Amino acid sequence: MRTAFWLAGAAALALASPAFAGDTIKIGFVSTFSGPTAVIGNDMRNSFELALDHLGRKMGGKPVEVIYEDDGQKPDIGKQKTEKLIQSDKVDFIAGYIWSNVLLASLKTVVDSQTMMVSANAGPSQLAGQLCSPYVFSTSWQNDQTPQAMGLYMNQKGIKNVFLIGPNYAAGKDMLAGVKSTFKGEVKGEEYTVWPSQLDFSAELSKARASGAEAIFVFYPGAAGVQFLNQYTQAGLKQQMPLYTAFTIDETTLPLQKENAFGVPGAQQWVNDLPNEENKRYVADYRKKYTGLRPSFYGAQSYDAAQLINSAVVAVNGDTSKKDAMKAAMEKATFKSVRGAFKFGNNHIPIQNFYLQDVVKDAEGQLSLKTVATIVENDQDRFADKCPMK
């Protein structure tokens, strides 16, 4: 079935792609730039733009044009914007995508047109497994990996049982499945909430308290993460049931979560204090260009996405019609990543370290995230063997 899917893409290429490379490198970038989660999309755009600054606003000697499209956090709108970028704007690359359900809705359009895609965040299990594609790369992770790392850390802490809470959509299901795949204790309960509209978690918190679990694991990105952490604290659970998280606390949410975020560990493959030179430059220049803001992991992954695309364009001297050569260059991952060592698995998902992060006050007295320890090294996602690419 996958072979047929790829062959269908080849048949559609003549209709969907430009015959010759143009005078500019055109990149479409789909993310969320409106509503309560716009802060994430803005951080991704900020970082992508900073990467272009560092590249001199050119790739392979050609000027770069980026067309940013707002998906409104809705799969149908994301699909429409993806179709516009590919069919009307005829972009050479497409990047971005925060939400797994938006990416999955857009995936067939991308693959059928053989447009090179770089997901800068969303990592649904299907993309790493049976729906992997020669044209699709990730500069983030597969969704399960980060919560798997937190499950390992919970084992190290001696947690015997846990209550799981997350949103009812593709990424939420992957996140809780990831924890369950590595956590050795008992899962006392599992709750999925309406996404993205539900921001009242009092019922779920009551169920967690009543379950008798000694800890809670939660995945809520963006505004939902702010609301959950505030309600968890207000309910008095912080002193009773320790909270373990993935993607709930980051530099976009900290200004609103404030001291409530102290003492709540998270797992991540990038933290702002990673000591490699590319990361030091990225963080310093981001803070300089966007006064008062700090980059988050969403931004770091978007910065790497621009660098990965550049490596492909440079490899073909700006001739983006050479798809196979660009794919081969991207698979080598020779660009300088802000996370340091970087390589791809056979499914184009990174093989990388995952770190324990904690909230601290920095030298300026501002809340920041700090790398505490390395939880797992050179981790490959658990769906790679289901990908037909070798």
Give me the percent of the chain exceeding a pLDDT of 70. Answer: 95
Residue 294 is predicted with a pLDDT of 95
Domain boundaries, the chain: 2-141+274-351, 145-268
Q: Which amino acid is at 104?
A: L
Is 275 strand, coil or helix?
coil
The hierarchical CATH code for the domain 2-141+274-351 is 3.40.50.2300
**Tokens describing residue 297:** 């992991």
State how far the Cα of 321 lies from the Cα of 367, in Å rounded to an integer: 46
- For residues 279 and 267, give the distance between their C-alpha atoms in angstroms, rounded to a whole number: 18
Residue range 62-72, pLDDT digits in tens: 999 999 999 99
Q: What are phi and psi of 167, to 5 degrees?
A: -80, 150
Q: Is the pLDDT of residue 21 over 90?
A: no
Q: Please check the confidence at residue 343 and state whether its pLDDT lies above 80.
A: yes
The whole-number average pLDDT for the span 290-317 is: 97
Q: Is the pLDDT of residue 24 over 90?
A: yes
pLDDT confidence band for 363 (50 / 70 / 90)? confident
Topology adopted by domain 145-268: Rossmann fold (3.40.50)
Tell me whether strands 116-119 and 343-344 are parallel, antiparallel or unpaired. Answer: unpaired
Q: Distance between CA atoms of 381 and 390, rounded to whole angstroms? A: 15
